[in-house]
Amino acid sequence: MMVKQKLILINDADKSGAEITKVTKAAGYTLKTLDFTAAGLPAQIRAHKPDLVLVNLGSAKQAGKIKKSAEIQTGCAVPVVLVVDNIEDSFLDNDAVLDRFSFVKRPFTPRELEYALELAISRAKMQQKLDNNQAWVTTTLKSIGDAVITTDIDCRINFMNQVAEQLTSWKLDEALGQELSNVFQIVNEFTGQAVENPAKKVLQKGVVQGLANHTILISKAGKRIPIDDSGAPIKDDQGNISGVVLIFRDITEQRKAEKALEFEKTLIDAMLNYFPEYIYFKDLNSRFYRISKSLATEVFGINDPQEAIGKSDFDFFPEQFAKEDYQT
């Protein structure tokens, strides 16, 4: 059995809601009637938990009543439909009013009123789903360990998470609406030349793009941070690009680790190339993967230590000696 949808009808002082009551009850709605002068009106509405509020509006003092209707809509999180004889021209020119409310103009047929109610409730449910989805996406992006910035199709920032705020030294409320290149300033580490806006590259090519190696982010505070990143297009259900998501991370520690490994490699290379001792490294199968220059030339009789890579003692010594060394 389908649950009846609940309406609240708020009558203006000079308006009778008899016709509205008749139509809505015939259409299967449950109806509770209040008026603008009711004490604690928003609290009563919230307690009733309606699917929609109908405001039966008179011609006098429309501005104040429309403002109050907007407060009801926002404070009670419920769609509002205004039933009017006419509406002042000033409101017809006000997009905020027209976007916020649905209107039904008297005289109306039962079907016109029913359609307006169905449409308003349907739009409210759809908006709620969109809001829930947006909240889920925002929470997810905020929770990601990497920095995230999203832009619209004009490369203007419409979201950044806390990690992005920390790396760029920009707060979200400062960055909203800014051109990406104003906030995400990147240069080549060696030349100091500005790197092309990655969002523009994504919009031009329509596919995921990564930054070149050795990219430095310059924060608003002047800090230079090595980063890597990728940008991807944001597409709607029809496949049209509506913006760009940019994900990047600080690779300072990674760079330090790479430099430490490079130093160790250089040190080992120096030992292998210049120390007189015979030095070698074998894998678990007893095959050489590094040997010293002295071992290569003086013992193995080869000029290039690389020639020994992947070989074993059996390739250089008599079988009996190689077996003994292998067992050892």
What is the distance of C-alpha 240 from the center of its chain? 17
Q: What is the pLDDT of residues 48-100, one digit of tens each?
A: 899 999 988 876 566 777 788 888 888 888 899 988 877 655 455 455 555 66
Query: Residue 227 pLDDT > 50, yes or no?
Result: yes
The pLDDT > 70 percentage for the chain reads: 89
Least confident span in 1-15, 161-175, 198-212, 235-249: 1-15
Band of residue 224 on the pLDDT scale cut at 50, 70, 90: very high
> Mean pLDDT in the chain?
83
| Cα-based distances in Å from 50 to 16, 32, 65, 82, 118 | 21, 9, 20, 15, 14
For the chain, percent of residues with pLDDT exceeding 90: 22
Whether the pLDDT of residue 242 is over 60: the answer is yes
Contacts of 29 (CB under 8 A, 6+ apart): 4, 5, 6, 7, 117
pTM across the whole model: 0.55
pLDDT for res 1: 39
pLDDT of residue 90: 46
Tell me the C-alpha distance between 328 and 323, whole Å: 8
- The confidence band for 325, taking pLDDT boundaries of 50, 70 and 90, is low
pLDDT of residue 6 exceeding 70, the answer is yes
Bridge partners of residue 32, in order along the sequence: 8
Determine how many CB atoms are found less than 10 A away from the CB of residue 113.
Answer: 20
CB 281 within 8 A of CB 290: yes
Q: Which residue has the higher pLDDT, 316 or 51?
A: 51
CB 16 within 8 A of CB 103: no
Q: Which domains does the chain have, with CATH numbers?
A: 6-138 (3.40.50.2300), 146-250 (3.30.450.20), 255-327 (3.30.450.20)
pLDDT at position 164 over 90: yes
Q: What is the pLDDT of residues 118-155, one digit of tens each?
A: 998 888 888 888 777 777 767 667 767 789 999 999 99
Beta partners for residue 247, in sequence order: 148, 230
pLDDT at 172 exceeding the cut of 90: yes
**What would the pLDDT profile of 249-305 be if each residue is shown by its tens digit?**
998 888 888 888 888 888 888 888 888 888 888 888 888 888 888 888 888 888 888
pLDDT at 176 over 90: yes
Strands, E, within the chain: which ranges? Answer: 6-11, 30-35, 52-56, 80-84, 102-105, 147-152, 157-160, 185-188, 209-210, 215-218, 224-235, 241-250, 280-282, 288-291
Most confident stretch, 186-195, 198-207, 217-226, 300-309? 217-226
Q: What does the pLDDT read at residue 234?
A: 87
Contacts of 180 by beta carbon, 8 Å cutoff, 6+ apart:
149, 151, 155, 156, 157, 197, 199, 246
